[in-house]
A = this chain, B = another copy of it.
Amino acid sequence: MEAPLIAAIETGGTKINVALARAPEEILFQERISTTMPEETLKQIRIALEKAQKIHGKAQALAIGTFGPVDLSPQSLTYGMITETPKPGWSQTDILSPLRDFFQIPSIIDTDVNAALLGEAQWGEASQLKNAAYLTVGTGIGGGLLMNGKLIHGIGHPELGHMLVTPHPEDSFAGCCPFHGNCLEGMASGLALKKRWGRNADELEIDHPAWELEAEYLAQACYNLMMIVPPTKIIIGGGVMKQQQLYPLIRERFSGLLKGYLSYPEITDHLDSFIVPPHLGEKAALMGCVVMGQRILKRF
Query: A228-B224, A259-B179 given as contacts; is B148 within 8 A of A152 (CB)?
Result: yes
Residues in A155-198 with C-beta less than 8 Å from chain B: 155-167, 179-180, 183
Q: Is A261 among interface residues, defined by CB-CB distance under 8 A? A: yes
> How far does the alpha carbon of A154 sit from the alpha carbon of B183 in the complex, in Å?
25
Q: Is A223 among interface residues, defined by CB-CB distance under 8 A? A: yes
Q: Mark A245-260, 1 if CB is under 8 A from B, else 0.
A: 0000000000001111
> How far does the alpha carbon of A55 sit from the alpha carbon of B220 in the complex, in Å?
53
Q: List the B side residues contacting A56 at CB < 8 Å.
A: none
CB pair B163 A263 closer than 8 Å:
no
Query: A163-B227, A164-B165, A228-B225 given as contacts; is B148 within 8 A of A148 (CB)?
Result: yes
Name which residue of chain B comes closest to A179, CB basis. Answer: B261
Q: List the B side residues contacting A224 at CB < 8 Å.
A: 163-164, 224, 228
Q: Is A229 among interface residues, defined by CB-CB distance under 8 A? A: yes
Query: A164-B165, A224-B228 given as contacts; is B131 within 8 A of A154 (CB)?
Result: yes
A interface residues, Cβ below 8 angstroms from B: 69, 83-84, 131, 143, 145, 147-148, 150, 152-167, 179-180, 183, 220, 223-232, 257-264, 266-267
Q: List 13 A-B contacts (CB under 8 A).
A: A131-B152, A147-B150, A148-B152, A155-B230, A156-B262, A158-B228, A159-B226, A159-B227, A161-B227, A162-B261, A179-B261, A180-B259, A225-B228
